[in-house]
């Protein structure tokens, strides 16, 4: 498969790229800064230079030509203000979805956030982040041309992955290593029967492959 990942230099994306390349997939990661390219090459991914805050849908679609799946894993990141939560976490997600539709890439995975809600109240930056994620998720759900799955991890950690998770429509609060998020994403890319599902993810007691199979088609 050829898989294109938006936010290709993110902590989850780099882990996912390593996993996908390691199993023989062709992986491209969209990055904003040329100097990030070497980190992608190290994990086996092809760096693609494109600023999703300023690119047109036609420019992004060109990078999705020939892809079998697209993964949106971009984010404004810590330290960014409410304005960039909107331009990246919402705007870039909408742009990437539009580009996938235009290119005919049906399989579309979103890395969202637990608590994402277009109507989330509050004036803090994190409140703006949850609203932006919620609006992006709602937009993707409205795209009938996409076989989308939205993944909402709990609090992210850099602990070593255990491969044991809880993956359900609603899990309750919890944490999850980025390693395990990447492993779940790799499994979801291959499991189109999870299309149409919004799933929460925290650490648990079920092996990833079993957890994904158990929600597939539900």
C-alpha to C-alpha distance for 155 and 130, rounded to whole angstroms: 13
Would the pLDDT of 74 be above 80? yes
β-partners of residue 47 are 29
pLDDT score, position 4? 98
> What does the pLDDT look like over 25-46, one tens digit per residue?
999 999 999 999 999 999 999 9
How far is Cα 159 from Cα 184, in angstroms, rounded to an integer? Answer: 16
Give how far the C-alpha of residue 36 lies from the chain's centroid of Cα atoms, to the nearest Å: 19
Q: Using CA atoms, how far apart are residues 37 and 49, in angstroms rounded to an integer?
A: 8
Tell me the three state secondary structure of residue 197. Answer: strand
How far apart, in whole angstroms, are the C-alpha atoms of residue 45 and residue 151?
22
Average predicted confidence (pLDDT) for the chain: 95
Please tell me what DSSP assigns to residue 123: S
Helices (H), the chain: 11-22, 37-42, 57-64, 82-84, 93-103, 125-141, 178-190, 208-215
Domain boundaries, the chain: 2-216
Residue 77 is predicted with a pLDDT of 77
> What pLDDT shows up at residue 3?
98
Distance CA 192, CA 109 (A): 10
Dihedral pair phi/psi, residue 132, rounded to 5°:
-60, -45
Q: What is the pLDDT of residue 218?
A: 64
pLDDT band at 84 (very low <50, low <70, confident <90, very high): confident
Q: Is 172 exposed, middle or buried (CB count within 10 Å of its CB: 0-12, 13-18, 19+)? A: exposed
Q: Which two tokens stand for residue 3?
A: 């898989």
Averaged pLDDT for residues 119-147: 94
Spatial distance between the Cα atoms of 44 and 168, rounded to a whole number of angstroms: 31
- CATH of the domain spanning 2-216: 3.40.50.720
Mean pLDDT to the nearest integer, 72-86: 85
CA–CA distance, 14 with 8 (Å, rounded to integer): 6
Q: Note the pLDDT tens digit of each residue in 148-179.
A: 999 999 999 999 999 999 999 999 999 999 99
């Amino acid at each position: 498969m050829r898989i294109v990942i938006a936010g290709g230099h993110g902590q989850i994306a780099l882990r996912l790229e390593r996993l996908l390349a390691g199993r023989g997939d062709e992986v491209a990661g969209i990055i904003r800064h040329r100097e990030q390219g070497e980190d992608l090459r190290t994990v086996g991914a092809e760096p693609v230079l494109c600023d999703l805050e300023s690119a047109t849908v036609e420019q992004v679609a060109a990078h999705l030509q020939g892809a079998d799946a697209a993964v949106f894993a971009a984010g404004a990141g810590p330290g960014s203000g409410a304005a960039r939560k909107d331009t990246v976490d919402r705007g870039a997600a909408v742009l990437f979805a539009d580009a996938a539709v235009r290119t005919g890439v049906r399989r579309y995975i979103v890395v969202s956030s637990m608590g994402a809600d277009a109507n989330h109240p509050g004036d803090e930056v994190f409140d703006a982040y949850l609203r932006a994620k919620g609006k992006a998720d709602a937009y993707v759900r409205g795209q009938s041309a996409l076989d989308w799955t939205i993944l909402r991890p709990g609090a992210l950690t850099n602990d070593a992955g255990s491969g044991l998770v809880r993956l359900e429509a609603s899990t309750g609060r919890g944490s999850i290593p980025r390693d395990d998020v990447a492993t779940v994403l790799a499994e979801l890319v291959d499991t189109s029967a999870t299309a149409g599902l919004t799933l929460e993810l925290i650490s648990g007691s079920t092996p990833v492959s079993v957890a994904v199979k158990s929600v597939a088609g539900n």
